């Protein structure tokens, strides 16, 4: 081989490498073609769906949620797949921005309804308690407790959003927050600084700590973005950097599976940095963090009986459900379809006792139960549909077996299937 051929080969290889590098770096042809082919062939683990810089800027501007989405199958109402192969039980859910929560059987019959009008304070999430009471997270403006007859027991008037968790000692953990000036992130605009607040059983605030400060004081500080002064239009007044959407406090029952599941440690999901993390319940230090380059805008991570973590990975064009082994970060199970399975926001998951998985597609206002093989054996479509075909979103559906100790049996009449 002459030196000219060697030089030509080196130049060709260099050009090919440069094209490939730039294609990966900026996601132009043939990046998505190669990535899709490799993923479908299982040559690589599927990682988070990348989204462009412009999309990231839109996210931190804290765009408002929609509460109904057009559904071409608008005539689907209630349970539309026979429950014969599904896990028996009762389903609890609330519609987005609807002042009601519902308990229904597997055929869609409503057995109990909670209702309370907080005027301009829309319901974000409702959590069913073992005695039939519910906790209601009001969109950005507080938490309330209603009894089984919808009587208001107390109302905590303070910032709150997305989620609530009741610890076994009765303390109530909520996602709260305030605005703060953080010049290293933006020289002028305020930052929404998500916090985890602890309420007493009667709704009095006991303590609070800043998740933003936790990240700033950790080795994961590099995940926090920084922006130039002129990157946002004048109408933007604050940036939503973390957008925390889940909190869960461990009771210690799974500590034998992994020391990080120690009683009092806290699992959180921070959507806008594509990360889930476990915090030390006492020091608030980050003990474990996973997600960047693997997740996109995720919701509702929950610890399974096996010690694995199940979550809804939203993506930007299609969604998936993944189960990970947290010690290794390995994906051990996933549910993903090639069609329109996608939730632009929200989404929740629950592993049922028969091994199936209950999935709430918030944006479409639907919930499905799938087998480990991905077969749909039960489907529910929110019967609240506006004129024109916009179906009201469902934040989260939870399945309860009638024999579970945390299920309020007083809500179900004897003989109810």
User: Do the Cβ atoms of 48 and 315 come closer than 8 Å?
Assistant: yes
Q: Which long-range contacts (CB under 8 A, 24 or more apart) does 186-191 make?
A: 186/226, 186/227, 186/229, 186/239, 187/228, 187/229, 188/229, 189/227, 189/232, 189/236, 189/237, 189/238, 189/239, 190/237, 190/238, 190/239, 191/238, 191/239, 191/241
266 class by beta-carbon count within 10 Å (0-12 exposed, 13-18 middle, 19+ buried): buried
Q: Hey, what are 257's tokens?
A: 């599976």
Distance CA 124, CA 175 (A): 12
User: Do the Cβ atoms of 51 and 58 come closer than 8 Å?
Assistant: no
DSSP string computed for 267-303: EEEEGGGTEEEEE-TTT--EEEEE-TTT-SS-EEEEE
78 class by beta-carbon count within 10 Å (0-12 exposed, 13-18 middle, 19+ buried): middle
SS3 259: helix
Distance CA 298, CA 398 (A): 18
Per-residue pLDDT, 23: 46
Per-residue pLDDT, 33: 46
What are the residue ranges in the chain where pLDDT is below 70?
A: 1, 3-59, 61-66, 413-417
User: Do the Cβ atoms of 248 and 198 come closer than 8 Å?
Assistant: no
Alpha-carbon dihedral angle through residues 86, 90, 93, 98, given to the nearest 10 degrees? 120
Distance CA 262, CA 240 (A): 30
Per-residue pLDDT, 37: 46
Distance CA 212, CA 310 (A): 24
Q: Which long-range contacts (CB under 8 A, 24 or more apart) does 145-149 make?
A: 145/203, 146/114, 146/116, 148/112, 148/114, 148/408, 148/410, 148/411
SS3 9: helix
Q: SS3 helix, strand, coil % of the chain, rounded to 5?
A: 15, 35, 50
SS3 405: coil
Q: Which of 396, 395, 368, 393 is nearest to 382 (CA)?
A: 393
- pTM, entire model: 0.86
User: Do the Cβ atoms of 249 and 281 come closer than 8 Å?
Assistant: yes
Per-residue pLDDT, 16: 54
Q: Hey, what are 289's tokens?
A: 């963090």
Fold classified for 45-411 = Neuraminidase (2.120.10)
Query: CATH 2.120.10.30 in the chain, residues?
Result: 45-411
Look at phi and psi of residue 112 and say left if phi exceeds 0, alpha if psi is from -120 to 50, else beta.
beta
Q: Which of 244, 189, 188 is nearest to 214 (CA)?
A: 244
263 class by beta-carbon count within 10 Å (0-12 exposed, 13-18 middle, 19+ buried): middle
User: Do the Cβ atoms of 392 and 384 come closer than 8 Å?
Assistant: yes
Distance CA 348, CA 310 (A): 10
Which strand (E) or helix (H) includes residue 31? helix 31-40
Per-residue pLDDT, 74: 83
């Amino acid at each position: 081989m002459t030196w000219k051929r060697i030089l030509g080969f080196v130049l060709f290889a260099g050009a090919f490498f440069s094209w490939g590098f730039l294609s990966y770096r900026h996601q132009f042809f043939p990046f998505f073609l190669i990535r899709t082919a490799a993923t479908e062939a299982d040559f690589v683990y599927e990682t988070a769906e990348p989204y462009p810089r412009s999309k990231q800027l839109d996210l931190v501007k804290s765009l408002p949620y929609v509460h109904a989405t057009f559904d071409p199958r608008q005539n689907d109402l209630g349970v539309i797949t026979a429950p014969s192969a599904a896990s028996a039980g009762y389903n609890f859910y609330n519609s987005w921005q609807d002042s009601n929560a519902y308990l229904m059987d597997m055929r869609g019959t409503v057995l109990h309804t909670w209702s309370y009008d907080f005027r301009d304070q829309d319901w974000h999430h409702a959590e069913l308690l073992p005695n039939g009471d519910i906790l209601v997270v009001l969109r950005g403006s507080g938490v309330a407790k209603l009894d089984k007859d919808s009587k208001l027991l107390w109302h905590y008037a303070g910032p709150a959003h997305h989620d609530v968790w009741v610890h076994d000692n009765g303390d109530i953990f909520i996602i709260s927050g305030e605005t703060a000036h953080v010049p290293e992130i933006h020289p002028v605009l305020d930052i929404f600084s998500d916090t985890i607040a602890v309420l007493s059983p009667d709704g009095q605030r006991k303590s609070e700590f800043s998740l933003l400060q936790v990240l700033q004081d950790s080795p994961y500080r590099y995940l926090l973005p920084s922006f130039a002064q002129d990157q946002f239009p004048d109408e933007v007044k604050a940036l939503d950097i973390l957008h925390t959407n889940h909190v869960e406090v461990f009771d210690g029952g799974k500590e034998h599976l992994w020391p990080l599941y120690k009683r009092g440690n806290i699992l959180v999901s921070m959507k806008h940095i594509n990360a889930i993390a476990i915090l030390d319940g006492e020091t608030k230090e980050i003990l474990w963090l996973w997600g960047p380059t693997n997740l996109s805008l995720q919701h509702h991570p929950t610890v399974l009986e096996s010690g694995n973590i199940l979550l809804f990975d939203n993506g930007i064009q299609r969604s998936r459900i993944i189960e990970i082994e947290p010690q290794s970060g390995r994906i051990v199970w996933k549910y993903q379809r090639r069609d329109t399975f996608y939730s632009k926001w929200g989404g929740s998951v629950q592993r049922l006792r028969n091994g199936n998985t209950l999935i709430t597609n918030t944006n479409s206002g639907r919930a499905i139960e799938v087998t480990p093989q991905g077969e749909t054996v039960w489907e529910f479509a929110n019967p609240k549909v506006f004129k024109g075909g916009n179906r009201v979103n469902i934040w989260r559906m939870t399945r309860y077996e009638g024999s579970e100790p945390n299920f309020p049996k007083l809500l179900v009449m004897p003989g109810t299937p």
